[in-house]
Structure 1
Amino acid sequence: MAIKNGDVVCIEYEAYLVDDNTLFDTSNEEKAKEAGIYNEQYKYAPMPVLVGSGGLFKGLEDAIIDSEVGEEREVILPPELAGGERDPKLIELLPIREFRKKDVEPYPGLEVTIGNRKGTVTSVHAGRVRVDFNSPLAGKTLKYKFTVTEIIEDPLEKAKALLDLNYGTSDGFDFEIRDDSVDVKLSEVCKFDQNWPMARFRLVSALRETFGVDTVRFIEEWTKISNEDDSKESEVVEEASDNSDE
């Protein structure tokens, strides 16, 4: 089956820097451990992709569209099709006091976020901090090895995959998909997660594009603890207190 823009697919991948063949990203847990880039907070599994959304480097998206399910592919991406060229204007000198105001002691290699921009400290000298706001992959030629493992057809599985893509997990969420709208019942976790508002914004766009709907609703449920539950909790506390006295 041909892959086209708007499809939701899953890919297994390995990403390398061509200069020294360093593996810098992968969906394979064992390879991540071997390369010393394992992150215990990352979910190692085939990655969901909304094809044509611009969420991947253009060169990689083009290669995915040109591939078949189950086919192992390798593509070389020059900077203009990957992280872009390095821009000297994105390297800035900032006063060290701006960091110390936030109780941050800068050092080379420190990753920082300043005014919603992510950068890396490259040097600290004479009260000045040099920060590079270029992407770490800017100016790099990349190599991707990938396989499209499936094209997701089931609407509910599509919605879950889009949530995994934009928030990192779909656990505890539920969906109701209609012809003109999508309802998303929220999990308990996201109610108190400061990362959720931005993820929600991205999810709305992805759901609209995928299902062709105008309306996306988010449903929160806050269940009041009944008096019976309160009394049970009180009994447990009293029992624990009695046992501690013994």
Structure 2
Amino acid sequence: MADAKRIVRIDYKAYFADADRLYDTTNADAAKEAGIFNEKVTYAPMAYIIGSGSLYADLDAAIAGAEIGKETEVTIPCEKAAGARNPRLIELHPIKEFYKNEINPYPGMSVSLGNRNGVVMSVGAGRVKVDFNNPLAGHDLKYEVTVVEEVTDPVEKAKCIMEMDFGTSEGFGFGIMEDKVVITEAEICKFHEGWAVAKYRLVSDYRNTFGVDRVEFVQVWESKKADAPAESSE
């Protein structure tokens, strides 16, 4: 097995640096205080593969060099984050497009049009102005991040990857060999619509993390054992 990549669990607070306004966090109390708490979100330390490229490069570097348990602050300029806002991504759409989909638009509403996500800026006479820019575009960002722990056990690392890419590791089995990673699928995989897509991400992350070429997924179907006949009382 080639050198494995590092996996850590992090707590963080993410701010728009220009307004010092919190927009994302793993801390429930901080989310409530900032008025961004979401009941559907699980607030807990987040698993992250260092060097995976899924976070901004400056933030990744800060996490890679951080001491466990010590908070690190990093500010990322707009051009290294989501980039500048593009005025061409602010568009006017006929309001009938929304009504056709039984949507009554209002300013601040998140919408999806033509596989693009945007935010309604204003609603006028028959037209709706929608901003399709990345919500982080045009902002310098500030992160306060703490590496809570580094995950070193191979099976625990495999579980972390499953949690990142599929949302849960419950019910899965994990085998980490020198030349391959073997995943025994949970029962939910037989019926989950997103499992097929998740496997593509999992294969990439398992290969890159453990330095193997082969990733196997094992699906188990067991016949139910018939109930034993009840003994006669006679």
Q: Given the two structures, how large is their TM-score scaled by the length of structure 2? A: 0.86
In structure 1, the residue matched to 2:101 is: 102
The CA deviation string for residues 123-167 of structure 1, in whole angstroms up to 9 with x for no partner, is 222332222121111111111111112221111111111111222
In structure 1, the residue matched to 2:200 is: 201
Alignment of 1:85-164 (within 5 A): 85-164=84-163
The CA deviation string for residues 31-50 of structure 1, in whole angstroms up to 9 with x for no partner, is 22222222222222211111
Change (3 A) 1:183 1:19: same
Moved more, 189-198 or 102-111: 189-198
* CA RMSD, 1 decimal: 2.5
Contact 1:175 1:184 (C-alpha < 8 Å) held by counterparts? yes
- CA-CA distance at 1:56 after TM superposition: 0.9
Whether 1:24 aligns to 2:26 is no
Aligned-residue sequence identity (percent) comes to 50
Alignment of 1:1-246 (within 5 A): 6-228=5-227
The AA in structure 2 aligned to 1:29 is A
The AA in structure 2 aligned to 1:155 is P
2-side partners of 1:94 and 1:173: how far apart?
A: 46
SS in 1 for 2:32: helix
2-side partners of 1:14 and 1:67: how far apart?
A: 15
SS in 2 for 1:75: strand
2-side partners of 1:216 and 1:114: how far apart?
A: 37
- CA-CA distance at 1:200 after TM superposition: 2.4
1-side partners of 2:158 and 2:132: how far apart?
A: 34
Contact 1:5 1:52 (C-alpha < 8 Å) held by counterparts? no
In structure 2, the residue matched to 1:240 is: none
Dislocated runs of 4+, deviation >6 Å: none
Moved more, 138-147 or 161-170: 161-170
Contact 2:14 2:141 (C-alpha < 8 Å) held by counterparts? yes
Q: Given the two structures, how large is their TM-score scaled by the length of structure 1? A: 0.82
The CA deviation string for residues 175-201 of structure 1, in whole angstroms up to 9 with x for no partner, is 112222222222233433333333322
Change (3 A) 1:189 1:62: same
SS in 2 for 1:228: coil
Contact 1:10 1:150 (C-alpha < 8 Å) held by counterparts? yes
- CA-CA distance at 1:5 after TM superposition: 9.4
Moved more, 193-202 or 22-31: 193-202
Equivalenced residue count is 228
Change (3 A) 1:20 1:222: same
SS in 2 for 1:60: helix
- CA-CA distance at 1:212 after TM superposition: 1.3
Unaligned ranges ≥5, structure 2: none
Greater helix percent: which structure?
Answer: 1
Moved more, 170-179 or 157-166: 170-179
1-side partners of 2:157 and 2:72: how far apart?
A: 24
- CA-CA distance at 1:227 after TM superposition: 4.7
The AA in structure 2 aligned to 1:122 is M
Unaligned ranges ≥5, structure 1: 233-246
1-side partners of 2:193 and 2:105: how far apart?
A: 25
